[in-house]
Structure formats: C-alpha cells, structure tokens
Amino acid sequence: MLRFESVTHVFPDGTRANHKIAFDVPRGQFCVLLGPSGAGKSTLLNTVNGLILPTEGKVVLDGEPVTSSNLAEIRRRIGMIHQQLHLVPRLSVLHNVLSGLLPVTPTWKAMLKLFPIDQQRRACQLLEEVEMEEKQLYRRASELSGGQQQRVAIARAFINDPDVVLADEPVASLDPTVSRHVLRLLRAASRQRDTTVLCSLHQVEFAIEFADRIVAFRSGEVVFDDLPSALTSDVLQHIYGGQEGDLVGAETLVEPKAEDKARANGRVPTPAE
Ligand SMILES: Nc1ncnc2c1ncn2[C@@H]1O[C@H](COP(=O)(O)OP(=O)(O)OP(=O)(O)O)[C@@H](O)[C@H]1O
Ligand SMILES: [Mg+2]
C-alpha cells in the first residue's frame, strides 16, 4: 500500500505545491489524480519516487518511508511514465524497454546491451501485451508514432515488475482514440500484475472511464476523493472553479460496476462481481 501522511511541499521560492495531503492507495488500484494546472499533481507524483522530498510529512510504500537514504531501493520498486516519454530516440524499441532495467543492471552490461535472455523475453512479452508487433521491436524509437512510443513507455515502466507505476499525463499529446487505447493497455498491464497506478490526467472523461478512484486537487489540497461516479458537475465546478477545465463526460456518469467498487475499496473482486 502507498500512503501519503500529511505531505506538504513548499518550493524554495515559497510556492506551496502540496498541503497536508493524506490518503492511502491500496495495492492494485488505478488511482487518477485530477485538478487544474498548477494544482500539485506532478509534485505529489514526484514525492513517491523521491525526486521531491516533502518539506513536511512523508510518503510510505509498504511500510517503508521514502527518504534520501533509501532512494535507490525505492526507485527499483517504481515504474515511471512521463508525458515527454523520455525514450532514447536512437535505440530500438526492445532496448528502450530493457533500459527500464538499468537500476538493477550493472552499467558495463547495459552499455554492451548484455541483457539476460529471460529479461529479453520479458521485454518481448510486455511489448506484445501493449500490442507492438514483432517487426517493430528493432525499429528506432524515433521512428514510432506518439501512441506507439507511449506504449513502449508503458512496457518499460513494467519491465522491473514494480509495485507502483507513476504516470504523469501519459496521454497529454495523443488524440482521444489513441489516448483511450493507451489508457486501456496501461490499466490492463496493472490489472494483470496487481500493480498500483497513480496517473495524473487532464481529461475528466478519461478519468471517469478508467479510474477505480479519483483524487482531485485544487491549490495543493485534496478537494475530492471518491469513486468516479461521485464526480458530479457540482464537484467539477468546485475542483476547477472558474478555471478552464475539461468538463466533458460529467453528464454521462453511470453507476459503477460491482467489480470497480470492489477495487476502489482495495479489494480483489470476487468472481460474482
Ligand atoms: N521547481 C519549482 N519551483 C517553484 N515552484 C514550482 C516548481 N515546480 C512546480 N512549482 C509550482 O508548484 C505548483 C504545483 O505544480 P505542479 O507541477 O505540481 O502542478 P500540476 O498539477 O502538475 O500542474 P499541470 O497540470 O500543469 O502539470 C505550481 O504553482 C507550480 O508553479
Ligand atoms: Mg503536472
């Protein structure tokens, strides 16, 4: 379980990005972070992998607090998907996925691209899961479309069998159809391995469609934490205030499936659900 214990972060210039954030994310949950630009979503994601150490409070992963002394160990347990992808353009699809193993692979082996055969098999399996065809494995990342690159980034995030995957606006630069496809694959990969996903999004309709649970921020504070079905237009108004928010989808709310309710409560759904 991932726990935020009264996490506050104030940047050196005095900007308070997170204020007393406290919530738990049960194992396997697909938790979406919503909120207007500047609300503090990226800052909070960065506290999980220790890129930012909160000025007050702490982040605890399976009982272990994230501190400056255990960062390497914590990062091994976390996969990351960035909006800007951070793929290496000149490397092949397969090697980009294998590069996710760098924290656990000696540098000289990585430089010689000496990844053990079982890791290469795992990379291929993940690429198959994100629907990359075999013929694409040796193409350079720079030759792929945005949607294909993002699928490679998903495979890379899961290569190290992480406990948590952090995705910061993973579909920001993709069209709606490709975005849905990418989010479906991300959710499927997390379901398959019971991996917790913390994913920031700007598109409310995608949050409603894919999240087990939505935590919304405004000015660094949590202003909503519930099932997607509880995200009414009044709540959206409260989250986004007078600001430009993507309110599409608020009218199309439906009663959540029993399976989704179970996951939102941190339970594995029973076969009946
Ligand atoms: N390095 C920094 N130094 C000072 N202030 C920062 C820094 N990084 C972020 N901030 C500020 O912290 C606040 C939260 O930023 P953050 O990037 O977490 O928001 P966000 O919710 O991810 O926004 P967006 O949706 O635009 O990505 C903002 O006011 C931002 O300007
Ligand atoms: Mg951000």
Tell me if 134 is assigned to some domain. no
Q: What is the pLDDT of residue 251?
A: 36
- The reported pLDDT for the residue numbered 67 is 95
CATH value at residue 46? 3.40.50.300
Confirm whether 143 is domain-assigned. no
Ligand whose nearest atom lies closest to the CA of 82: 2
- Residue 244 is predicted with a pLDDT of 43
Pocket test for ligand 1, best of 8, 13, 37 (most atoms within 8 A of CB): 37
Mean pLDDT by 10 residues, the chain (273 residues): 97 97 97 96 96 97 95 92 78 86 59 73 91 90 90 92 95 89 93 96 96 97 96 92 49 49 61 64
In-domain check, residue 43? yes
* Residue-level pLDDT at 107: 56
Could you say which ligand is closest to the alpha carbon of residue 39?
1
**CA of 168 relative to ligand 1 center, distance in Å:** 12
Range of the domain at 269: 1-77+198-273
Pocket of ligand 1 (CB under 6 A): 11, 13, 15, 17, 35, 37-43
Which residue minimizes the CA distance to atom 25 of ligand 1?
37
pLDDT of the residue at 87: 81
Q: How far is the CA of 44 from the centre of ligand 2 (A)?
A: 9
The answer to the question of residue 150 being in a domain is no
Q: According to the model, what pLDDT value does residue 90 have?
A: 84
Ligand 1 centroid, distance to 17 Cα (angstroms) = 6
Residue 166 belongs to some domain of the structure:
no
Structural domains of the chain, count: 1
Spacing, Cα 139 to ligand 2 middle (Å): 30
Global confidence as pTM: 0.85
Residue 51 has φ and ψ, to the nearest 5°, of: -65, -30
Instruction: Determine, yes or no, domain membership for 252.
Output: yes
